[in-house]
Amino acid sequence: MEVAPFHLQIACDDDSAVAEARRAAMTLADAVGLDELARGRLALVVTELGTNVRKHAGYGVFLLGRAPEDEGGGVDVFAIDQGPGMADVERCLRDGVSSAGTRGAGLGAVQRLSDVFDVFSAPQRGTVVFARVRRGAPQRQTFERIGLALRFPGEEVCGDAWVFEAEGERARFAVVDGLGHGVLAASAAAAVVRGFPADADEPQQWLEGAHRAARGTRGAAATVVFCDGSRGRATVTGLGNVAVRLVDPSGATSAVTMHGTLGHGTPRFRAQTYDWPGGWVVVHSDGLSPRWNVTPDDPLWRQSAGVVAAVLWRDFHRQRDDATIFVCRRHA
């Protein structure tokens, strides 16, 4: 089972922030074991992205985190802004194209230096760039996924968590929100994750185990999703205010969860099964507004999981709590 660490958030609000982000990326590169060549590529990626944000948007945010081990490991970099955006992304990726009077090699260079690269931008919608520098070769995946876990400003830890595991056409994952934020919230979330039973066949069993494990903590909310691609269905159960939405070309469905708190009381866990021929599942804590509205025909859904997660976090983050979003897509 993959258990998520939180992501580091660095405001790109002056030129010194680019150097700060580069130093943080190098520390993370050491932690995940990138070799010297990959470290050099990563440093250039962060520098170019930060320079672009400063020149074109003036202000933005870096998110830095570990890439999943089964996708090659390494470091994920997100450069996020709410600037003027680009009318023609493909044109801007070509070397020599710049709207700021520079030589225009930045975004194209980032694409070449990265093992995974994606960008979403449009006029008045800002820009999000996702770049991954890998440590090794990825395994073939049925499910593309990514989670962003951001701690409340001023805290040392994140009180949310997410978990994921998959085998063939089946995947199961959850987002957990420890009540409040800080160390006690993180302890509650960790207890829930430890309580998920490895041999569970149904999502209710995950929550039942988590409920027992969370006793003695301040409690947590959690939503669990079991996906079966071969049967075209997703089964959801949740307790508390962790939201889940299924999105495919035919529409979007907000799954129903129950009121209550893991670790407290005697809740009854009920699951609901939904048709899910493919497309996206989005699960997030209440650090993001549950009222987000990105229609199924929006071009955002044609992007990678990393870009989808980052755009939703940017546009719907409430900025008053830990915030975690997990997005998953089954490849056809």
Q: 0.75 exceeded by the pTM?
A: yes
Residue 189: which residues within 8 A CB-CB, separation 6 or more? Answer: 159, 160, 161, 176, 177, 178, 220
Domains of the chain: 8-133 (3.30.565.10), 143-330 (3.60.40.10)
Task: Quick: pLDDT tens for 37-91.
Answer: 999 999 999 999 999 999 888 899 999 999 999 899 999 999 999 999 988 888 8
**In the numeric block, which tokens belong to residue 137?**
């070769």
**Are the C-beta atoms of 61 and 80 separated by less than 8 Å?**
yes
Strand order through the sheet with 127-133: 8-12, 60-66, 75-81, 127-133, 116-121
Euclidean distance between CA atoms 155 and 133, whole angstroms: 28
40: three-class secondary structure by DSSP: helix
Mean pLDDT, 10 residues at a time, the chain of 332 residues: 73 90 95 96 95 90 93 95 88 60 66 96 93 93 92 91 93 96 95 92 93 96 95 94 91 91 92 92 95 92 96 93 94 64
CA distance 30 to 12: 22
Comparing CA positions, the residue from 171, 287, 284, 149 lying closest to residue 223 is 284
